[in-house]
Amino acid sequence: MAEQSLSSSPPPAAAGGGGSGGSSSVRPPAVYTIGYAMLPNKHDTFVQPSFIDLAAQHGIRCVAVDASRPLVEQGPFDLVVHKLYGQPWRAQLEAYSVLHPDIPIIDPPANIERILDRLTMLDVVSGLDSVAVPRQVIVHDAGAPLQLVDDDAVLGDLRFPLIAKPVEADGSAASHNLCLVYRREGLRGLRAPLVLQEFVNHGGVLFKVYVVGDHATCVTRSSLPYVPHERLQDLTADAAVPFANISLLAPTTAVGDESAKVPPPQEFVDKVARELGRAVGLHLINFDLIRTMDAQGDAKYLVLDINYCPGYSKMPGFEPVLTEFFLEMLRSRPVRDDRPGPGAGLGVDEARKAEAEPTSVIPSGAEPRQLVQA
Ligand SMILES: Nc1ncnc2c1ncn2[C@@H]1O[C@H](COP(=O)(O)OP(=O)(O)O)[C@@H](O)[C@H]1O
Ligand SMILES: [Mg+2]
């Protein structure tokens, strides 16, 4: 994986500017302009003052795209990064690419869409050697969950407990409404289409791996606790328990959990990140990894979930990692003679002003679904 080589502190020439590491007039002019298109509540995935400042120190200004206006009328941009979904937005990107085939779009909409659906999301993982996915079945038919209560055939050899997950994984609040189902009657009341996935005991600890191009950072988070076998037999307890956003919690400090919290070796994290990133064809993702023990007592890793352009502000040191990634993408793009010079030559203060201007990012024609942090 790429070594982190950018510093998050100002370069010596700007050090006298003092303050928050912010606006120094001695900084070099912006060389590149990145247009970012995302809902305002998603700007903090990485468009934070600390990132804007570091990027500005390295000649990058970030400008919010106004997705209510044609993208082709905006810019010039040297790179576009986006986290908006839906056909109208896709059409905007296509039109832009036709006009500016040399401007990188991070990332291809078709590849993003594949991981917005839990049916297709984990397909790509099935082909990898180093990790597996939990066993699962898809329930398409609206009447099916009820039928499942009496019918063994659909569940096949899946064992309780199961996790019921909505098919859509687009970050909307509804997509995070999951349900831990301890026994058959807990399936009553679930709404199809959904994925029924075997719950895998993993010590209550989740490894969230943030990927930025070739760089991977593993963060330890809380997860669903161990489910003892007796819980499945306890008919006085709830047959199913809904839950949401469990992995946003800090890891539990329960006694005996210490070994479960030891993160996987970095080389392993790098390998999985590299394979997974290539398989999904995306540069900006995170994924949820759990560790369980197989019958031989060896560690086995499973991928549960993949998210596009996640909340990088929760990844320690995200600013230099993202800055370096964008610089690499910008420097390696093909250069054409008929294009206006990179970045339109605005200075850092203009860059910051442009960034602060309020804009709407609702694509015309369709409201993107509201998102919550994945
Ligand atoms: N098959 C599973 N076995 C054990 N725990 C799981 C499983 N699937 C999900 N979880 C737990 O539930 C959390 C949420 O599931 P996930 O598929 O990541 O949905 P979301 O889209 O809400 O992030 C995971 O981070 C993990 O803690
Ligand atoms: Mg998740």
Res. 358 pLDDT band, cuts 50 70 90? very low
**CA proximity to 227, closest of 214, 215, 245, 240:** 240
Ligand lying closest to the C-alpha of residue 242: 1
300 annotated binding-site participant: no
Q: Are residues 203 and 319 in the same domain?
A: no
Ligand lying closest to the C-alpha of residue 222: 1
Question: Read out DSSP for 127-189?
Answer: T-SS-B---EEEE-STTHHHHHHH-HHHHTT--SSEEEEESB-SS-GGGG-EEEE-SGGGGTT
Strands laid side by side in the 178-181 sheet: 136-139, 194-198, 162-166, 178-181, 240-243
pLDDT of residue 20: 36
The beta strand positions in the chain, using DSSP E, are: 32-38, 60-64, 79-83, 105-106, 136-139, 162-166, 178-181, 194-198, 205-212, 215-222, 240-243, 284-293, 299-308
Q: Are residues 277 and 344 in the same domain?
A: no
Distance in angstroms (rounded) separating the CA atoms of residues 128 and 289: 14
- Domain of residue 43 covers 12-107+315-356
Res. 145 pLDDT band, cuts 50 70 90? low
CATH value at residue 219: 3.30.470.20
Ligand 1 atom nearest 224 alpha carbon: 27
3-state secondary structure of 240: strand
Ligand 1 atom nearest 118 alpha carbon: 17
Out of 206-215, 338-347, 357-366, which region has the weakest mean confidence (pLDDT)?
357-366
Residue 7 lies in a domain: no
Reported as a single tens digit per residue, the pLDDT across 231-290 is: 999 999 999 999 886 666 555 545 456 888 999 999 999 999 999 999 999 999 999 999
| CA of 284 relative to ligand 2 center, distance in Å | 15
325 annotated binding-site participant: no
| CA of 243 relative to ligand 1 center, distance in Å | 10
For residue 324, what are its two tokens?
A: 């370096």
Ligand 1 pocket: which of 197, 222, 247, 369 to mutate (most atoms within 8 A of CB)? 247
Ligand 1 atom nearest 200 alpha carbon: 3
Ligand 1 pocket at CB < 6 A: 134, 163, 165, 169, 175-176, 178, 197-200, 202, 206, 223-224, 246-247, 288, 290, 304-305, 374
| CA of 152 relative to ligand 1 center, distance in Å | 24
Ligand lying closest to the C-alpha of residue 180: 1
Q: pTM (2 decimals)?
A: 0.83
Residue 371 lies in a domain: no
3-state secondary structure of 19: coil
Out of 26-35, 111-120, 196-205, 234-243, which region has the weakest mean confidence (pLDDT)?
26-35
Q: Which of residues 282, 308, 334 is at a domain's end?
A: 308
Residue 5 lies in a domain: no
Residues 342, 31 contacting (CB under 8 angstroms): yes
Ligand lying closest to the C-alpha of residue 302: 1
Residue 251 lies in a domain: yes
Question: Read out DSSP for 68-103?
Answer: TS-GGGS---SEEEEE--SHHHHHHHHHHHHH-TTS
Residue 366 lies in a domain: no
Nearest CA owner, ligand 1 atom 22: 176
CATH value at residue 85: 3.40.50.11370
| CA of 244 relative to ligand 1 center, distance in Å | 9
Q: Are residues 135 and 229 in the same domain?
A: yes
Q: Are residues 122 and 268 in the same domain?
A: yes
Q: Are residues 217 and 287 in the same domain?
A: yes
Strands laid side by side in the 215-222 sheet: 215-222, 205-212, 284-293, 299-308
Ligand 1 pocket: which of 288, 293, 372 to mutate (most atoms within 8 A of CB)? 288
Strand-pairing partners, residue 24, are none
Q: Are residues 121 and 238 in the same domain?
A: yes
17 annotated binding-site participant: no
Whether pLDDT at 229 is above 80: yes
Residue 1 lies in a domain: no
Q: Are residues 159 and 48 in the same domain?
A: no
Q: Are residues 27 and 173 in the same domain?
A: no
Residue 40 lies in a domain: yes
Ligand 1 pocket: which of 304, 306, 308, 369 to mutate (most atoms within 8 A of CB)? 304
Q: Are residues 52 and 148 in the same domain?
A: no
197 annotated binding-site participant: yes
Distance in angstroms (rounded) separating the CA atoms of residues 293 and 171: 30
Residue 368 lies in a domain: no
Q: Are residues 164 and 236 in the same domain?
A: yes
Q: Are residues 205 and 227 in the same domain?
A: yes
Q: Are residues 227 and 322 in the same domain?
A: no
| CA of 47 relative to ligand 1 center, distance in Å | 27
For residue 126, what are its two tokens?
A: 């099935």
Distance in angstroms (rounded) separating the CA atoms of residues 62 and 71: 15
Instruction: Give the helix/strand (H/E) hosting 263.
Output: none
Ligand 1 atom nearest 198 alpha carbon: 1
Whether pLDDT at 40 is above 50: yes
| CA of 374 relative to ligand 2 center, distance in Å | 6
For residue 248, what are its two tokens?
A: 């946003």
What domain count does the chain have?
2
Reported as a single tens digit per residue, the pLDDT across 197-214 is: 999 999 999 999 999 999
